[in-house]
Amino acid sequence: MTAAMPSHDHPLPPPMLEEVSAGIYSYVQPDGTWFINNCGFVAGDDEVVVIDTTSTEARTRAFIEAIRSVSDRPVTTVVNTHHHGDHTHGNYLFEGATVVAHRKCREVMMSAGGIADYSAAFPGVEWGALRFRPPSLVFDGSLDLHVGDVTLELRDLGYVAHTTGDVHAWLPERGVLFAGDLVFHGGTPFALFGSVSGTIEAMDRLESYGAEVMVPGHGPVARGAGIKSALDDQRQYLTFVLERAQAGIAAGRSPLEQALATDLGRFSAWTDGERLVGNLHVAYREAGHNDDFAIDRSIGDMIRFNGGALPRCLA
């Protein structure tokens, strides 16, 4: 089943709604690149619980249409897996729902003071009439949400990974895992707002659930042996980043210089390859060699890595 995009005219396939277990849905938005994320929801007899919203008004309205195609129950709760705009911009369209997230997710959103202005880095995106809606219910550690006979075990990691406030949702009765952006399936992981080594460590936690279905934050749903393969891909890429950082530090190169000197090998087939630069900035910092680390400077280096071109964003 697919939902039509109301106001976008670009070459991407439409989002895909799939019932991955009875009453549990993934909503996968191709092609999973910048600001094109995945969502999910649990449709109970009395209510609907949503996991993540999307980056733009049009995309979130299409997601709501997809929910309405299978349930007329009210959306009572929205879970944000982390603070990034592609997962939170659409919160405001779920009026009346409680938005739940990690304490640090809210802290980061509040310290930003509103929706970030992405017009310089992503000038072509039609964001719509976005309104800032941070989470109102926050937790550390774990929180269980019950929807009919389904339990959503919302869990943090206890350490920094994709961001400082990552939450994943494990549905033990159904073997379904919503991983958030701890996993980019078929795309380049992005640790600029978190930790390279922490994201590697997070793969062990995700693997420990023995999930049958994993909905990543970006890219296609993984099943069975495909889950281990997707997690191994993330591990191997991020371990490669750590190795390249060590080599770059030893050679006295800056993160950008080291990125330009790096052959990505099989990872070059993945989308958003310029994230290597941001990931190296973080890996250098984690190795104690990037005292003036700054997210803005790292993003500037990603653009320089692309020969001055802005990241390709089709949201």
Residue ranges binding Zn ion (CB under 5 A):
84, 181
Minimum CB separation of residue 36 from Zn ion in Å reads 11
Minimum CB separation of residue 131 from Zn ion in Å reads 20
φ, ψ for residue 83 (rounded to 5)? -85, -15
In the block, which residue shows the tokens 């080599």? Answer: 247
**Beta bridge pairs of residue 271:** 187
φ, ψ for residue 228 (rounded to 5)? -60, -40
For Zn ion, give the closer residue by CB, 75 or 179: 179
Minimum CB separation of residue 252 from Zn ion in Å reads 32
Minimum CB separation of residue 186 from Zn ion in Å reads 15
For Zn ion, give the closer residue by CB, 181 or 233: 181
In the block, which residue shows the tokens 């909905």? Answer: 215
Name the residue among 66, 73, 97 with its Cα closest to residue 4: 66
For Zn ion, give the closer residue by CB, 143 or 183: 183
Minimum CB separation of residue 278 from Zn ion in Å reads 12
φ, ψ for residue 199 (rounded to 5)? -70, -35
- Measure the CA–CA gap between 227 and 206, rounded to whole angstroms: 9
For Zn ion, give the closer residue by CB, 183 or 211: 183
- Measure the CA–CA gap between 126 and 56, rounded to whole angstroms: 7
Angle between helices 275-286 and 225-250 (to 10 degrees): 70
- Measure the CA–CA gap between 186 and 206, rounded to whole angstroms: 17
Minimum CB separation of residue 84 from Zn ion in Å reads 3
In the block, which residue shows the tokens 């530090």? Answer: 249
For Zn ion, give the closer residue by CB, 80 or 258: 80
For Zn ion, give the closer residue by CB, 181 or 274: 181
Minimum CB separation of residue 48 from Zn ion in Å reads 23
Minimum CB separation of residue 82 from Zn ion in Å reads 6
Residues in the chain: 315
For Zn ion, give the closer residue by CB, 117 or 291: 117
Q: Is the CB of residue 102 less than 8 Å from the CB of residue 156?
A: yes
The amino acid sitting at 27 is Y
- From start to end of the chain, where are the E strands? 16-21, 24-28, 39-43, 48-51, 75-79, 98-102, 137-139, 142-147, 150-155, 168-171, 176-184, 213-218, 222-223
For Zn ion, give the closer residue by CB, 248 or 278: 278
- Measure the CA–CA gap between 223 and 228, rounded to whole angstroms: 9
Helix H or strand E encompassing 65: helix 57-68
Minimum CB separation of residue 19 from Zn ion in Å reads 25
For Zn ion, give the closer residue by CB, 272 or 286: 272
